[in-house]
Amino acid sequence: MNTTVMDHNMSSERRPGEERKFIGDRGDYFLNRIQGETNGNVSACYQCERCTNACPVSHFMDIKPHQVIRYVQLGWREDLLRSSTIWVCLSCEMCTTYCPNEVRVAEIINHLRNIAAHSSIAPKEKQLAVFHRTFLEVLSKSGRVNEFRLMKAFYSKPHILSEKIKSGNLKEELLLGLALLKKGRLKPFSTRSKLTKDIRKAYIQSRGEIV
């Protein structure tokens, strides 16, 4: 049965024409699933907002970290998987560190990103989603991430180069790459890690494929 929700920490007042939100049909199922899969203490969150205040990029998120946790409690799966937040998050774990209740905010956002990556929902931040996938591909191939190889692989993905040219960011990024190359911070070559096989296995398993 649906229950209306008045969430004081998110939006206590509805704007004209705005739809009333309900607890997700399978709210408990989603909450239990996320808690079980991340070992996060989601039910313990009391919306103190310390996670959001500690987050260096919350300004760029459409659903703030403390709201992500509230959405999980309410079973608002679709909103989360369609959000920019899951792609903007840097996985820096500041939110997890500052949370007094061991909710594991960073781990939950990372997990939601993985669920979104395996779903048919188009990512709100397309370039960040492609970057995320490319990062994992490069990691699984050589067991470590070489920035030069990563950027080469990223720019080779469909539409990335043309979108960079269109946005006017290409020149700035190339100049930055050149500066890093000159300072020796960008190395064109790197050796493979001895753990490549294990990392590749974990990568394949995370995609739900049999090794």
Q: Which residues contact 20 (CB under 8 A, 6 or more apart)?
A: 4, 14
Q: Segment contacting ligand SF4 (CB under 6 A): 12-20, 63-71, 145-153, 177-185?
A: 63-71
47 is an interface residue for ligand SF4 by CB under 6 A: yes
93 is an interface residue for ligand SF4 by CB under 6 A: yes
Which residues are 4's β-sheet partners? 22
Taking the C-alpha atoms of residue 96 and residue 149, their distance in angstroms, rounded to an integer, is 31
Among 92, 161, 176, 178, binds ligand SF4 (CB under 6 A): 92
Instruction: Closer to ligand SF4 by CB, 36 or 184: give it.
Output: 36
Taking the C-alpha atoms of residue 169 and residue 82, their distance in angstroms, rounded to an integer, is 25
Which residues are 22's β-sheet partners? 4
65 is an interface residue for ligand SF4 by CB under 6 A: yes
163 is an interface residue for ligand SF4 by CB under 6 A: no
CA 186 to chain centre: 25
106 is an interface residue for ligand SF4 by CB under 6 A: yes
Q: Which residues contact 119 (CB under 8 A, 6 or more apart)?
A: 81
Backbone angles phi, psi at 22, to 5 degrees: -115, 160
Task: Provide the minimum distance between the beta carbon of 47 and ligand SF4 in the complex, in angstroms, as a whole number.
Answer: 5
Task: Provide the minimum distance between the beta carbon of 156 and ligand SF4 in the complex, in angstroms, as a whole number.
Answer: 27
Residues engaged in binding ligand SF4 (CB under 6 A): 45-51, 54-55, 57, 65-66, 69, 89-95, 98-101, 103, 105-106, 109
